[in-house]
């Protein structure tokens, strides 16, 4: 086929003849792409290239957020940095794999396993289209009441640092961006937005900084989140000592600092102190606030450029600029990811007490019946509440897992709730909801959406929904509705299938209220974060009018309505326990009680304590399984039960792990990441928590956790590092030798043998503590400096070798503002916990300068 060729118009041809039209030639090709678009160029060069292309307005766009992402600059192809909570699962989308919580990771004492989990978290974050994982949380567990202890890694800075480094390496090697938080001293939720932490520099550097420092220096974390609270008079977001002097200058942090959500209080102060990104929006550092102070000269362009450089550096270094994450089906919640969650749960559960060989259950051939008591057996305690709360697609119920495993041994399992807990409800099912259209009663509720927060005016969208269970993220809830600052009203009827007493629960991240037959039932209209009000009421098997209002303020929007029958009594549980060969009580808390934004009590609720006592009196083989994220006081009941298992919040596969440990299929190997005290008056923060005026004085200094109890020689219920096994380990042959340090400075190598003397395969956590009897400053009798988890077959012996650096010997000298190693005799203490020391040895160390200790 002949092809015709286009011809120029006559006027164009004439112009061409006169040389007036330029036609491209090989010598005049398309100009090359800017350097910043070339992935092969050095990161710093790409940052400089892109920065030179940006206008002031574009730079200002980049340093304040939009919900759960930074803002894009389309002209220069700068993408959004998409973000998601949280530490034990990706909170973007309705469900995700729910891993064991942070305190479980610390309890595992297994950095390699934590790194595996980090890689899976990264894969799920990217599969949800999220680049930044807002985790890990590394705040030290200073007080047992802290509502977020479950998210963190315990009371010891070395354990916290080792766990954090592995977590971050896993996440970032997996292609996501980790965020270490909350810098600094966010050690209580009570008044977290305004409390002023008064703490010494020595305590900061020795207790509260090490996990952050290791995250920066060893793991190369890309982002740091500044906390809500003040530190020594200044908000963390506007504290130059924290953000500039320590983080960026002393530690050499190259990434960017973001605020916690709505933590910024001013404009100039955080900008000049080193905050780089305000989240979730530019309330104080948006273009409207910053541009006038830049153009007037109050803030120099160099200050703005530095923030932009840091954000761009992270984008280039992490690969997000060149390949932003895209949603991928089939990744989140995969079988492989669930298998990792199960491995972590197995490794983290700790056996705290096992008198008379109450466990494992199958060790007694006479065992034919087991009573399982407590709602935690049927409502899996997956995790805590708040921004770390994750909803899995499915979660293993401990009761079902136990029943399946014991059935194979000819053991019957029966269940009684024994007590009720607020929050133990299911989402109200679609079958319970209906609405009227004319005279007809049809399925579902009527949903009316409003583009304001007060359910006012005309609805902009009306539809019918099956149930109230929504997680819209940052997206609009319906066509024509705002993504932020909207409200919705659900109306219709709710009909119980059976009459009885019900507990209703509302869950939302902003304000809501519920009415039954026109009467107020639940009210959280003030919009306080993470509020979960409940109410009980008697219902007949008939329709009741229901109305639920919800408003979204900003960022993510989610709302859910649940209910459950109030059933079970202590009397019925005791009867079951008395006729069974063994009784297992699931006690503790849930995401309803342990949650962000509020602290909690130190004891189990009275109904649980009464139940434990009554069941223990009825059955001498009573085992208690705890779900909690903080130390508990238990002096009034722990002596009555022969066995105690600390399961923490073990994620969606925790039910299987608990059953395996109770039956002996898995040998427990978890160890306590903090001390279980005997009395609150013994605690280091007893005199100053929750506050003294508007301050939280850290008068205990470096004596936090076991350091305090050991220095004061106080009795404890269970010491730091404690955990039992179904086998027995023996330590021998301690050797201490000088060795070259990694940075060229001096170091010491500590080696010893560990032998499994029992008949079962098991894992031991060998712990190395350091002390100095005669020190120029007060120091604890022992402080953890290294540990190793090793799995041994029966009769197997293995030599452990761990290296201590000069920094491990040092203390922080406030006068010199640096680390110092004093000359003297140091003692190595090797053992299975802070109070189970098996081997001791000493060495003499000459004084070292600060340069040897960094």
Q: Residue 129: left if φ>0, alpha if ψ -120 to 50, beta else—which one?
A: left
Residue 440, CA distances (Å) to 66, 436, 493, 680 in order: 44, 6, 12, 61
Is 260 one of the catalytic residues? yes
* E strand segments, 254-404: 256-259, 350-354, 369-373
Residue 348's SS3 state is: helix
CA angle 574, 576, 579 (to 5 degrees): 110
781 closest CA partner among 681, 699, 698, 706: 706
Q: How many CA atoms lie within 13 A of 514 on its CB side?
A: 25
446 closest CA partner among 458, 454, 437, 455: 437
How is residue 241 written in tokens? Answer: 């000592």
Q: Could you give the CA distance from residue 243 to residue 465 in angstroms, rounded to a whole number?
A: 47
Q: Could you give the CA distance from residue 714 to residue 679 in angstroms, rounded to a whole number?
A: 10
Contact, 119 vs 358, CB < 8 A?
no
Give the pLDDT of residue 10. Answer: 41
Residue 780, CA distances (Å) to 132, 386, 525, 616, 683 in order: 38, 35, 49, 39, 15
Give the pLDDT of residue 2. Answer: 36
Residues 6+ apart with CB under 8 A from 312: 46, 47, 50, 51, 62, 78, 321
Q: Could you give the CA distance from residue 137 to residue 120 in angstroms, rounded to a whole number?
A: 17
Which contiguous run of DSSP H or E holds residue 763?
strand 762-772
216 closest CA partner among 190, 242, 185, 188: 242
Cross-strand bridge partners of residue 666: none
Contact, 84 vs 634, CB < 8 A?
no
Maximum pairwise Cα distance, the chain: 109
Residues 6+ apart with CB under 8 A from 680: 602, 633, 686
Omega of the bond prior to 217 within 30 degrees of 0, cis?
no
Contact, 575 vs 617, CB < 8 A?
no
How is residue 602 written in tokens? Answer: 């130190």
780 closest CA partner among 210, 203, 213: 203
Residues 6+ apart with CB under 8 A from 838: 730, 731, 830, 831, 832
Contact, 73 vs 58, CB < 8 A?
yes
Q: What is the mean pLDDT of each run of 10 residues along the chain (854 residues)?
A: 40 43 55 93 98 98 96 98 96 94 99 99 98 99 97 99 99 99 98 98 99 99 99 99 99 99 97 98 96 97 99 99 97 98 99 98 94 98 95 97 96 97 91 96 98 96 97 90 95 97 91 97 82 90 98 86 90 98 98 92 96 99 99 98 99 99 99 98 97 98 99 99 99 95 79 98 99 95 99 99 96 97 97 99 92 72
* Pairing outcome for strands 622-627 and 582-588: parallel
Residue 27, CA distances (Å) to 24, 128, 306 in order: 8, 45, 39
How is residue 520 written in tokens? Answer: 């107020």
Give the pLDDT of residue 554. Answer: 75
How is residue 501 written in tokens? Answer: 């007493």
Structural domains in the chain? 335-424+567-674 (3.40.50.1700), 461-565 (2.60.120.380), 727-852 (2.60.40.10)
* DSSP secondary structure letter of residue 686: T
Q: How many CA atoms lie within 13 A of 188 on its CB side?
A: 24
CA end-to-end span of the chain, whole Å? 78
How is residue 737 written in tokens? Answer: 């030798």
Omega of the bond prior to 184 within 30 degrees of 0, cis?
yes
Q: Could you give the CA distance from residue 499 to residue 478 in angstroms, rounded to a whole number?
A: 35
Buried-state track 376-404, b at ≥16 Cβ within 10 A, e below 16: bbbbbbbbbbbbbbbbbeebbbbbbbbbe
* DSSP codes, 189-201: -TTTTT-EEE--H
Contact, 553 vs 486, CB < 8 A?
no
Residue 543, CA distances (Å) to 320, 468, 488, 506, 563 in order: 52, 17, 22, 19, 15
Active-site residue identified among 85, 156, 260, 262: 260
* Cα dihedral sign, 338-341-347-348: negative
Residue 244's SS3 state is: helix
Q: Could you give the CA distance from residue 416 to residue 372 in angstroms, rounded to a whole number?
A: 7
Give the pLDDT of residue 249. Answer: 99
**Number of helices (H), then strands (E), in the chain:** 19, 39
* Cα dihedral sign, 91-97-100-102: negative
Helices (H), 569-653: 570-578, 606-618
Buried-state track 406-428, b at ≥16 Cβ within 10 A, e below 16: beeeebebebbbbbbbbbbbeeb
Residue 782, CA distances (Å) to 703, 707, 777 in order: 11, 7, 14
pTM confidence score: 0.92
CA-derived radius of gyration, the chain? 30
Q: Could you give the CA distance from residue 369 to residue 575 in angstroms, rounded to a whole number?
A: 13
């Amino acid at each position: 086929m002949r092809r015709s060729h286009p011809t120029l118009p006559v006027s164009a041809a004439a112009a061409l003849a006169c040389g007036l039209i330029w036609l491209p030639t090989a010598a005049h090709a398309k100009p090359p792409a800017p350097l910043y678009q070339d992935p092969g160029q050095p990161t710093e060069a790409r940052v400089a290239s892109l920065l030179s292309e940006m206008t002031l307005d574009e730079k200002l766009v980049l340093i304040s957020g939009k919900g759960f992402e930074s803002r894009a600059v389309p002209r220069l192809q700068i993408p959004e940095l998409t973000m998601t909570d949280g530490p034990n699962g990706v909170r973007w989308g309705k469900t995700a794999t729910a891993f064991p919580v942070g305190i479980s990771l610390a309890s595992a004492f297994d950095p390699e396993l934590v790194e595996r989990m980090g890689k899976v978290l990264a894969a799920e974050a990217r599969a949800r289209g999220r680049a930044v994982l807002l985790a890990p949380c590394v705040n030290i567990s200073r007080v047992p009441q802290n509502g977020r202890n479950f998210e963190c890694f315990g009371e010891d800075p070395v354990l916290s640092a080792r766990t954090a480094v592995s977590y971050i390496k896993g996440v970032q090697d997996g292609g996501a961006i980790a965020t270490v938080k909350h810098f600094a001293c966010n050690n209580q939720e009570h008044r977290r937005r305004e409390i002023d932490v008064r703490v010494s520099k020595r305590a900061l550097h020795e207790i509260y900084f090490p996990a952050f420092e290791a995250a920066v220096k060893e793991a190369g974390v890309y982002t740091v989140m500044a906390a809500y609270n003040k530190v020594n008079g200044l908000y963390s977001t506007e504290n130059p000592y924290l953000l500039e002097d320590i983080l960026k200058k002393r530690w050499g942090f190259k990434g960017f600092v973001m605020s916690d959500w709505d933590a910024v209080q001013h404009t100039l102060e955080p900008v000049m102190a080193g905050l780089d990104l305000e989240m979730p929006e530019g309330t104080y550092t948006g273009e409207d606030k910053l541009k006038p102070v830049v153009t007037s000269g109050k803030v120099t362009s160099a200050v703005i450029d530095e923030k932009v450089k840091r954000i761009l550096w992270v984008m280039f270094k992490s690969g997000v600029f060149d390949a932003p994450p895209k949603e991928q089906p089939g990744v989140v919640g995969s079988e492989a990811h669930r298998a990792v969650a199960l491995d972590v749960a197995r490794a983290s559960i700790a056996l705290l007490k096992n008198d008379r060989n109450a466990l494992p259950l199958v060790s007694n051939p006479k065992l034919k019946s087991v009573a399982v008591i407590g709602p935690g057996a049927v409502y899996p305690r997956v995790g805590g509440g708040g921004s770390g709360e994750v909803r899995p697609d499915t979660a293993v119920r401990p009761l079902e897992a136990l029943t399946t495993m014991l059935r194979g041994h000819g053991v019957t399992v029966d269940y009684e709730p024994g007590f009720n807990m607020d929050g133990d409800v299911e989402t109200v099912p679609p079958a319970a909801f209906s609405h009227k259209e004319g005279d007809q009663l049809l399925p579902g509720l009527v949903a009316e959406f409003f583009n304001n927060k007060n359910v006012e005016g005309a609805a902009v969208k009306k539809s019918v929904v099956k149930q109230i269970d929504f997680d819209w993220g940052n997206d609009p809830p319906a066509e024509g509705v705002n993504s932020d600052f909207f409200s919705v009203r659900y109306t219709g009827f709710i009909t119980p299938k059976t009459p009885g007493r019900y507990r209703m629960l509302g869950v939302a991240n902003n304000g809501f209220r519920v009415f039954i037959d026109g009467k107020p039932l639940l009210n959280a209209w003030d919009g306080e974060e993470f509020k979960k009000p409940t109410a009980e009421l008697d219902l007949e098997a008939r329709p009741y009018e229901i109305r639920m209002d919800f408003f979204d303020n900003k960022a993510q929007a989610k709302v859910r309505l649940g209910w459950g029958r109030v059933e079970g009594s202590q009397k019925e549980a005791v009867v079951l326990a008395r006729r069974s060969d063994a009784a297992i009580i699931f006690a503790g808390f849930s995401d309803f009680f342990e949650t962000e934004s509020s602290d909690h009590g130190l004891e189990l609720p009275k109904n649980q304590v009464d139940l434990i006592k009554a069941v223990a009196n009825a059955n001498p083989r009573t085992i208690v399984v705890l779900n909690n994220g903080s130390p508990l006081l238990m002096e009034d009941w722990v002596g009555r039960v022969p066995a105690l298992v600390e399961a923490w919040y073990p994620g969606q596969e925790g039910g299987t792990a608990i059953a395996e440990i109770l039956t002996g299929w898995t040998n427990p190997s978890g160890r306590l990441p903090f001390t279980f005290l005997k009395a609150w008056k013994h605690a280091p923060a007893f005199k100053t928590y929750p506050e003294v005026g508007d301050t939280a004085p850290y008068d205990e200094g470096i004596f936090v956790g076991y350091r305090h109890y050991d220095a004061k020689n106080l009795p404890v219920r269970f010491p730091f590092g404690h955990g039992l096994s179904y086998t027995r380990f023996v330590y021998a042959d301690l050797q201490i030798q000088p060795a070259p340090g990694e940075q060229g400075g001096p170091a010491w190598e500590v080696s010893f043998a560990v032998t499994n003397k029992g008949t079962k395969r098991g894992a031991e956590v060998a712990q190395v503590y350091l002390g100095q009897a005669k020190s120029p400053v007060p120091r604890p009798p022992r402080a953890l400096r290294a540990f190793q988890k090793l799995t041994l077959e029966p009769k197997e012996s293995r030599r452990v070798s761990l290296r201590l650096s000069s920094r491990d010997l040092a203390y922080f000298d406030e006068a010199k503002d640096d680390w110092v190693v004093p000359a003297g005799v140091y003692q190595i203490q090797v053992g299975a916990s802070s109070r189970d020391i098996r081997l001791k040895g000493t060495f003499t160390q000459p004084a070292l300068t600060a340069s040897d200790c960094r």
